[in-house]
Chains A and B, each alone.
Chain A
Amino acid sequence: GESVGLHLPTLSVQEGDNSIINCAYSNSASDYFIWYKQESGKGPQFIIDIRSNMDKRQGQRVTVLLNKTVKHLSLQIAATQPGDSAVYFCAESYKSYDYKLSFGAGTTVTVRA
């Protein structure tokens, strides 16, 4: 079964506000985490990743936070735009060197104008 899950299946955000998408994982041995964005009718697209030896990593308008104590991962999107409307998946890898990912169920983000 899937060991990665998201707290909320849907999130509605006002355009311009910041979005926070949460993800809980159960395998304390996981050493790599990644966020993907999937727009309707398309395949998942890489957003940002983080290794277990880090707590925070920033990209363009996105920040991923990792709390290993409570096995929690979050994706923050600054100044949310209509183009951010999509399904967001977190994924983990808990076996080093096989480069396999285990995906959670996803959070659907809807941006309100």
Chain B
Amino acid sequence: EAGVAQSPRYKIIEKRQSVAFWCNPISGHATLYWYQQILGQGPKLLIQFQNNGVVDDSQLPKDRFSAERLKGVDSTLKIQPAKLEDSAVYLCASSLGTDTYEQYFGPGTRLTVT
């Protein structure tokens, strides 16, 4: 089966600019997660969707980050405006969403803010 797809793979922007990341989960996976992984650290959950509804966005900096999952499939994560500390790898993961903790991760988008 096809894995989780993410694009772009790399992005370099200047601070105060905007950026958007796209994720296409594994077909049939109801739950979608966005993580932020700062260099040398483990992934940190930003937001969790169940179908097209938000389950948890308590760790999402809502003054600058936003995410949506229209139609319960693809998802977009946006940062506006970006700060230097947003430099990280943004990982998307998906799971079946019922009775499973196993998450399948995409390759991530490496964001560098200069």
Do A and B associate with each other?
Answer: yes
**What is A's interface to B at a CB cutoff of 8 Å?**
2, 4, 32, 34, 36, 41-46, 49, 89, 91, 93, 98-106
CA distance A98 to B42 in the complex (A): 20
**What is B's interface to A at a CB cutoff of 8 Å?**
4, 31, 40-45, 48, 55-56, 91, 93, 95, 97, 100-108
A100 touches B56 (CB 8 A): yes
**A43-B93, A43-B108 in contact; A49/B42 too (CB < 8 A)?**
no
A43 touches B41 (CB 8 A): no
A91 touches B42 (CB 8 A): yes
Which of A4, A43, A103 interacts with B4 by CB under 8 Å?
A43
**A43-B108, A99-B31 in contact; A106/B101 too (CB < 8 A)?**
no
A41 touches B107 (CB 8 A): yes
In the complex, how many angstroms separate the beta carbon of A72 from the nearest chain B beta carbon?
17
B91 touches A43 (CB 8 A): yes
A101 touches B41 (CB 8 A): no
Which of B40, B42, B106 interacts with A2 by CB under 8 Å?
B42
A44 to chain B: which residues have CB within 8 Å?
Answer: 43, 91, 105
CA distance A91 to B35 in the complex (A): 13
In the complex, how many angstroms separate the beta carbon of A96 from the nearest chain B beta carbon?
10
A36 to chain B: which residues have CB within 8 Å?
Answer: 105
